[in-house]
Amino acid sequence: MIIPYNLIIFKTFRNDSSGNGEDLLTIECSGSDKLILYYIKKEKDPVWKIGKFVIFTGSSEEQNRLKTEIQYVIDSNWPGKKLKHLQLYVNPMSGWKKAKSMVKKDVLPVFELLNIKVTILETERKGHLKEHVQTLNVDDFDGIIVAGGDGSFAELINGLLEKGMKDANLDLNTPGIRPPSPNVTLGILPCGTGNGLANSSHGCLDPVTAALHIVKGISIPSKAFTVHSGSKFMRYGFLCGGYGVFSLAIKRSETNRWMGPLRYVYGMFSSMAQNKDFMVTTSAEVYTTDNRIDGPTEWKEFPKTVRNVEIFIYDMREGWGNTTKQGLQNALFVCLVLPCKVWEQFKGVYKLITRNPTRFDKDCYLPFNCRSLKMEWDDDAIGYDGYINVDGEITNLPERNCCLTAFGDAFRVFGRSEKVQDEKH
């Protein structure tokens, strides 16, 4: 029985996929007269699942012929890099402590289906991942994946970028030096307390969706930023930062780790309820045009009294997501929240969580894009406690100042792309 592969694809995708060959995963034989075609089901965007389509061929000869033909369609439509070997770090303590079971139940079956070899390391303590990845020969892997949250990924990116600087004999303590990009694509499987990168990369927090984005091999550029205080390098950030209410919220949440992920809700609401202002001298190297890669800049100073200094790696007015365009830009999106009523602040956080860009239209919000951001505190600065928030973690400052500088395309991460890319990375 001869069945044209285009008819198979049509029947497979007519209800629950996008209708193109990029959604095909693999084809395998079942018995001597059947084929099972695995594909990506897109029943409720952005969540992806695995679908199966059984093809009865009637004979082993027709089975082999059709399998070869369909495999050719799969290979020729594969959108990214074919993965063979992944390094997977699992943080068993992240989030609700379900990373191990999530990987076993939802993720490894996807990798096994595509015959991808996975080397797994279960981290034993804070800093273990960072230490291990600096000893890793990244050329042995097609990707390095973290099963955890933003904190676990922070260890990965800091370990790789710091090692790259050391190998290139570049000084970490000198602000403004671009770190060499890792020669390997990175990935995140969401199972942490904070999952900002996973949400922006995959559009949701579903582990199967994340695994399918990874196996498809499409990578998108992402930014990083350096944090310096005085003449000392502090760390790299890759997602967000801040000072004021948000840093106070993180500090409070860290003292209540027994609450699990709910500690962040407690920290945020209790900090906002204080209606507290902070004094900080803020200056920024702002872009004077829409060119945020190598466009002209100028330094500007901003009001000293703020409720919050919010720092994001992406312009939140343009949508929440890890897009190709923004990932290439050497820019931070900064929003100064000026003194306002408590209810305005609560309303603003709600709009931030629900991704409502009208949040920044209010007079109490002062948003801008910049290459670098400097914050300085006088000896009598109200509210200063010697730390800022970087990617949801407290970063203590040795001096009463800090400088954050953004670098576009600092690393590549597996995820969805809103544009068709010219090359397969």
Q: Are residues 116 and 148 in the same domain?
A: yes
For the record, the structure tokens of 347 come out as: 């309303």
For range 33-51, the mean pLDDT: 88
Same domain for 283 and 150, yes or no, is no
Range of the domain at 274: 228-406
Residues in the chain: 425
144-188 pLDDT per residue, tens = 999 998 999 999 999 999 999 999 999 999 999 999 999 999 999
What amino acid is encoded at 354 in this protein?
T
Q: How many domains does the chain have?
A: 3
238 and 310 part of one domain? yes
CATH of the domain at 22: 2.30.29.30
Residue 211's nearest CA partner among 76, 90, 103 is 103
CATH of the domain at 356: 2.60.200.40
For 271, the enclosing helix (H) or strand (E) is: helix 262-273
CATH number of 135's domain: 3.40.50.10330
Residues 234 and 220 both lie in one domain: no
- Residue 417, domain member (yes or no): no
CB distance 327 to 220 below 8 Å:
yes
Residue 418 reports pLDDT greater than 80: no
| Residue 180 token pair | 């060499």
**Residue 417: per-residue pLDDT:** 64
- Looking at the structure, tell me whether residues 238 and 314 fall in a common domain: yes
Task: Say whether both 278 and 201 belong to one domain.
Answer: no
- Has residue 425 been placed in a domain? no
Of the two residues 319 and 349, the one the predictor is more confident about is 349
Residue type, 365: Y
Tell me whether residue 150 is in a domain: yes
Give the residue, 321 or 196, on which the prediction is more confident. 196
Residue 412 lies in a domain: no
Cβ neighbours, 10 Å, residue 180? 15
Which pLDDT score, from 0 to 100, does residue 153 have? 96
Asked whether residue 411 is domain-assigned, the answer is no
Is residue 177 situated within a structural domain?
yes
- Of the three residues 23, 47, 76, the one that is the final residue of a domain is 76
Cα angle 269, 385, 397 (rounded to 5 degrees) comes to 115
Which of the listed ranges 249-258, 345-354, 393-402 does the model predict with the highest average pLDDT? 393-402
- For every residue of 138-188, DSSP letters joined together read GGG-SEEEEEE-HHHHHHHHHHHHHHHHHHTT--TTSTTPPPPPPSSEEEE
Which residue among 195, 224, 253 closes a domain? Answer: 224
Same domain, 378 and 277: yes
Tracing tokens 């310096």 back to the chain, one arrives at 228
Cα Dmax for the chain: 84
One domain for residues 266 and 323: yes
Rounded CA separation 366/362 (Å): 8
- My answer on whether 236 and 163 are in the same domain is no
Q: Is 81 exposed, middle or buried (0-12, 13-18, 19+ CB in 10 A)?
A: middle
- Distance between CA atoms of residues 16 and 181, nearest Å: 37
Rounded Cα distance between 253 and 196, Å, is 17
pLDDT tier at 114, thresholds 50, 70, 90: very high
Residues 6+ apart with CB under 8 A from 78: 22, 216, 217
- Residues ≥6 apart with Cβ < 8 Å to 256: 263, 266, 267
Are 267 and 402 in a shared domain? yes
Q: Is the dihedral of CA 155, 134, 171, 126 positive or negative?
A: positive
In the predicted structure, residue 68 carries a pLDDT above the cut 60: yes
Regarding whether 319 and 205 lie in a shared domain, the answer is: no
Model confidence at 12, in pLDDT bands (50, 70, 90)? Answer: low
Considering the entire predicted model, what is its pTM? 0.89
Contact status, residue 296 vs residue 287, Cβ threshold 8 Å: yes
Least confident of 52-56, 154-158, 286-290: 52-56
2 pLDDT above the threshold of 50: no
End position of a domain, from candidates 187, 206, 224: 224
Beta strand 185-190 with 143-148 is parallel
Q: Are residues 398 and 251 in the same domain?
A: yes
| pLDDT reading at 322 higher than 70 | no
pLDDT at 320: 54
Structural domain contains residue 420: no
Residue 387 maps to a domain? yes
pLDDT over 90 at 28, yes or no: yes
